[in-house]
């Protein structure tokens, strides 16, 4: 018979094991991708799959020789950060008005914004392509910044709105009594309080923009193509390509993975903001 | 600031230099697929830029399906993002007819257009106008393991029948040893399983459409084809065959797990390449299998370089396309990468080169397969369409994609052959009626 203390210890061990199992399952594809990137093409296609093999850097050298990685990486950085910045500039005031000056249409407006995410992107490909063509935005970083901002804006507004809703209105009223303008309210009161939530919104937007592939493949050609286009260029209809594709995918994921790792504290804090009072 | 006039002067000078430089050079944006021949072209393009300092090349390399979608969007909306497009025999006549591509005209005399196989020229043309120059071309053929055939006392004819292929597969199928009798594409897709299924159907006497554009999936020839395909692969094929495309099957054959494989002639260079295959010296080559007819038994495909009508760098693009498909380019490939790496299937002169024929053991069968492929006469009964493993009409891609899923479903056992054929018939009838081929 287990004592209460032993029972709790067992529960902790079991929960810990379960958490590790889930984490490892989620991480396994990334681990396998990194592993495959050091294999030869024959080893990468081997059945049964090989866990032990002689590692090689030939895939990375091939990518270095064939593609200008930094050109694509720089485009990814510019469009991800640019769209996140522009998105936040629009999302914060929008969420502010919806959270603190709610009207009877606020809820339906929020739902309508989110409903734009429900349409498959390919459904609007031709109209968006034509608009981009007419405005000279095809294969430009500014064009991608615009489209990424529009894609992520509903989620950003929703997230910021949720964080703002957690803040008591009395704090804003106190600021108003002290003579703060709307801008000062946002800048001096709201933003510092909801820093964690805003940081997680920024991170999520960055990750979504970094990984977006449909629009980046369809609206760019060479000069504005981000890392997703580089990854797509290593998939081959005729010939073995898994090892090279794994290597280029590892290179494409690395910056955002490192960035996410460094800022995980903010990310976790932001995601759990408001969950526990 | 004291030095502001100097700074301004420098700024203006730099601007002038930059704008001058950009005015002097024309940028040619090339959309292409990622495969060995295309990557070699990208690597050698420096030689072209050196010879043409006024032309700058920019590459957009994408996976085949993504590229097809990307190019179609661009050309249909007159987007003008590409100056050179890598397109296949399916797109060239359709897009050419719509006026989306510039016809290929006024080629230099030393280009020797007559040297390009007539079937390839025909496949890239519409109503007598050529709309793309072939970079490389392919047919299909049979690959088999000579060591296994020898050990079993079997002999592969120059052009086996599908019945013979099944008998050989039965004799060589040893799944317990990780050796499978027959490997074919099973993954759904008009360019995947439907390429081999269509050529098999041709050999069994079937056709996609009759003379009135009515589909014939409810006929006995299609039933025989799909029943044979499903039965042979389920009995003598590798596990999970319904998800195997070209690359997966290439990997299986290259790692020594397949006794027989029928697929693109392009695979000849892969299975004889030590970096991609463990069976380089144990591969034999035969023509693609026949059955009730030899017509349309082997497919015909070509990757061509075409110039969209929307390109504003037409002259520079023509210059590049001419260079990349020339004899001079083939020679450059031979010098840099070895003679066996020359772009296959397009030029007769490649096969007249004794060194190439000696270095590429698959070349003779490739040549024979290319010679036999006729996109205008690929079915036993007459058909109204051009193309061997496809029908060059805009509706085909959508129809064959859906039929491909049904055939793959029958192979995986999620439906019967009869159900797959019946659904294929109704889907194709609906699409063809909607497109007003008949009422």
Q: Is A232 on the interface with B (CB under 8 A)?
A: yes
Q: Residue B341, CB half-sphere, CA atoms under 13 Å: how many? A: 18
Residue B116 vs residues A9, A25, A131, B138, B317: alpha-carbon distances, Å: 77, 53, 41, 13, 20
Domain ranges of chain B: 4-137+301-359, 139-299+374-434
- The H or E element spanning position A72 is helix A69-100
Mutation test of the interface with chain B: which of A237, A241, A242, A244, choosing the one with the most B Cβ atoms within 10 A? A237
Q: Where are the alpha helices (DSSP H) in A37-68?
A: 41-45, 58-66
CB contact under 8 A, A239 and B62: no
Give the residue among B300, B307, B319, B313 at the shortest CA–CA distance from B392.
B300
More confident residue, A233 or B409: B409
CB of B193 closer than 8 Å to CB of B186: yes
> In the predicted model, what is the mean pLDDT of residues B84-92?
93
- How much is the pLDDT for A69? 94
Give the residue among B74, B91, B220, B229 at the shortest CA–CA distance from B163.
B229
- How much is the pLDDT for B21? 42
Residue B126 vs residues B90, B123, B130: alpha-carbon distances, Å: 11, 8, 7
Closest Cα in chain B to A135: B79
More confident residue, B67 or B199: B199
Q: Give Cα B188 distance to the centre of its chain.
A: 16
Domain ranges of chain A: 68-272
What CATH fold (topology level) applies to the domain A68-272? MetI-like fold (1.10.3720)
Q: Is B42 on the interface with A (CB under 8 A)?
A: yes
- How much is the pLDDT for A271? 64
Q: Mean pLDDT in chain B?
A: 91
CATH, domain range B4-137+301-359: 3.40.190.10
Distance CA(B349)–CA(B343), nearest Å, equals: 11
3-class secondary-structure state, position B56: strand
Q: How far is B295 from chain A (nearest CA, A)?
A: 25
- How much is the pLDDT for B1? 40
Tell whether the model's pLDDT for residue B404 goes beyond 50.
yes
Q: How far is B78 from chain A (nearest CA, A)?
A: 9
- Classify each residue of B305-315 as buried b or exposed e, where b means 16 or more C-beta atoms within 10 Å of its C-beta: bbbbbbbebbe
Distance CA(A52)–CA(B76), nearest Å, equals: 49
* pTM, full prediction: 0.81
Distance CA(B367)–CA(B55), nearest Å, equals: 35
SS (H, E, C) chain A: CCCHHHHHHHHHHHHHHHHHHHHHHHHHHHHHHHHHCCCCHHHHHCCCCCCCCCCCCHHHHHHHHHCCHHHHHHHHHHHHHHHHHHHHHHHHHHHHHHHHCCCCCHHHHHHHHHHHHHCCHHHHHHHHHHHHHHCCCCCCHHHHHHHHHHHHHHHHHHHHHHHHHCCCHHHHHHHHHCCCCHHHHHHHHHHHHCHHHHHHHHHHHHHHHHHCCHHHHHHCCCCCCCHHHHHHCCCCCCCCCHHHHHHHHHHHHHHHHHHHHHCHHHHHHHHHCCCCC
A102-133, pLDDT tens digit by residue?
Answer: 899 999 999 999 888 888 998 999 999 999 99
> Which of B64, B81, B246 lies at the smallest CB-CB distance from A138?
B81
On chain B, the residues whose CB falls within 8 A of the CB of A221 are: 29, 31, 58, 60, 81-82
CATH, domain range B139-299+374-434: 3.40.190.10
CB contact under 8 A, B247 and A218: no
Confidence of residue A263 (pLDDT cuts 50, 70, 90): confident
Same fold, B4-137+301-359 and B139-299+374-434: yes
Distance CA(B285)–CA(A107), nearest Å, equals: 68
Q: The tokens of B431 are what?
A: 């699409």
Looking at this predicted complex, what is its ipTM? 0.76
Confidence of residue B18 (pLDDT cuts 50, 70, 90): very low
Other beta carbons within 10 Å of B358? 11
Give the residue among A51, A53, A47 at the shortest CA–CA distance from A31.
A51
The DSSP annotation for B129-167 comes to EE--EEEEEEEEEEEEEHHHHHHTT----SS-BHHHHHH
Residue A164 vs residues A100, A141, A151, A268: alpha-carbon distances, Å: 8, 31, 21, 18
Tell whether the model's pLDDT for residue B204 goes beyond 90.
yes
- How much is the pLDDT for A190? 87
Distance CA(A100)–CA(A167), nearest Å, equals: 10
Residues in Cβ contact with B43 at an 8 Å cutoff, skipping those fewer than 6 apart? A66, B336
B339-373, pLDDT tens digit by residue?
Answer: 988 999 999 999 999 999 999 999 999 999 999 99
Q: Is B34 on the interface with A (CB under 8 A)?
A: yes
> In the predicted model, what is the mean pLDDT of residues B26-40?
88
Give the residue among A129, A237, A141 at the shortest CA–CA distance from B32.
A237
């Amino acid at each position: 018979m287990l004592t209460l203390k032993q029972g709790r210890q067992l529960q902790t061990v079991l929960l810990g094991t379960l958490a590790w199992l889930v984490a490892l399952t989620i991480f396994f594809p990334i681990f396998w991708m990194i592993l495959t990137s050091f294999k030869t093409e024959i080893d990468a296609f081997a059945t049964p799959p090989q866990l032990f093999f002689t590692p090689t850097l030939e895939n990375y050298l091939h990518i270095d020789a064939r593609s200008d990685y930094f050109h694509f990486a720089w485009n990814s950085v510019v469009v991800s950060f640019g769209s996140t910045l522009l998105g936040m500039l629009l999302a914060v005031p929008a969420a502010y008005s919806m959270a603190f000056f709610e009207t009877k249409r606020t809820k339906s407006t929020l739902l309508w914004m989110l409903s734009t995410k429900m349409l498959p992107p390919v459904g609007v490909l031709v109209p968006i392509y034509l608009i981009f063509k007419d405005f000279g935005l095809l294969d430009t970083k500014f064009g991608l910044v615009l489209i990424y901002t529009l894609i992520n804006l509903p989620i950003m507004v929703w997230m910021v709105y949720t964080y703002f809703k957690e803040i008591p209105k009395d704090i804003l009223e106190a600021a108003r009594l002290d003579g703060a303008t709307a801008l000062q309210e946002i800048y001096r009161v709201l933003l510092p309080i909801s820093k964690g939530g805003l940081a997680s919104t920024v991170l999520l937007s960055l990750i979504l923009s970094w990984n977006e592939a449909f629009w980046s493949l369809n609206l760019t050609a060479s000069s504005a193509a981000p890392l997703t286009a580089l990854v797509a260029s290593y998939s081959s209809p005729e010939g073995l390509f898994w090892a090279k594709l794994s290597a280029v995918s590892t290179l494409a994921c690395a910056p955002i993975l490192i960035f996410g790792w460094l800022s995980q504290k903010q990310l976790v804090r932001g995601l759990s903001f408001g969950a526990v009072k | 600031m004291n030095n502001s006039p100097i700074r301004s002067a420098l700024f203006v000078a730099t601007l002038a230099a930059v704008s001058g430089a950009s005015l002097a050079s024309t940028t040619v944006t090339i959309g292409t697929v990622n495969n060995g021949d295309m990557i070699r072209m990208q690597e050698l393009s420096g030689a072209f830029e050196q010879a043409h300092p006024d032309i700058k090349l920019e590459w957009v390399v994408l996976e085949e399906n993504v590229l097809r979608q990307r190019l179609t969007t661009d050309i249909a909306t007159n987007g003008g993002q590409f100056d050179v497009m890598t397109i296949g025999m399916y797109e060239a006549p359709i897009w050419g007819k719509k006026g989306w591509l510039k016809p290929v005209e006024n080629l230099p005399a030393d280009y020797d257009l007559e040297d390009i196989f007539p079937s390839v020229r025909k496949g890239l043309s519409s109503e007598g106008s050529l709309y793309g120059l072939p970079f490389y071309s392919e047919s299909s053929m049979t690959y088999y393991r000579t060591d296994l055939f020898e050990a079993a006392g079997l002999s592969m004819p120059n052009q086996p029948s599908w019945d013979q292929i099944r008998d050989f597969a039965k004799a060589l199928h040893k799944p317990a040893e990780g050796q499978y009798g027959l490997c074919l594409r099973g993954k759904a897709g008009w360019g995947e399983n439907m390429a081999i299924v269509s050529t098999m159907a041709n050999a069994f006497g079937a056709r996609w459409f009759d003379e009135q554009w009515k589909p014939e999936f409810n006929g006995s020839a299609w039933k025989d084809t799909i029943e044979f395909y499903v039965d042979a692969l389920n009995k003598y094929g590798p596990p999970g065959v319904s998800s195997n495309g070209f690359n997966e099957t290439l990997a299986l054959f290259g790692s020594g797990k397949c006794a027989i494989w029928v697929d693109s002639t392009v695979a000849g260079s892969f299975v004889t390449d030590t970096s991609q295959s463990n069976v380089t010296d144990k591969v034999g080559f035969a023509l693609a299998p026949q059955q009730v007819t030899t017509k349309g038994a082997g497919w015909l495909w070509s990757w061509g370089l075409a110039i969209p009508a929307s390109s504003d760098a037409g002259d520079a693009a023509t210059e590049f396309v001419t260079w990349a498909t020339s004899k001079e380019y083939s020679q450059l490939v031979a010098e840099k990468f070895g003679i066996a790496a020359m772009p296959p299937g397009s030029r007769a002169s490649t096969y007249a080169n004794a060194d190439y024929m000696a270095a590429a053991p698959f070349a003779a069968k490739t040549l024979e397969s290319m010679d036999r492929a006729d996109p205008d006469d690929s079915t036993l009964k007459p058909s109204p369409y051009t193309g061997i493993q496809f029908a060059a009409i805009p509706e085909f891609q959508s129809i064959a994609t859906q039929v491909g899923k049904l055939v793959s479903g029958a192979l995986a056992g999620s439906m019967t052959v009869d159900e797959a054929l019946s659904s294929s018939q109704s889907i194709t009838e609906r699409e063809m009626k909607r497109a007003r081929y008949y009422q």
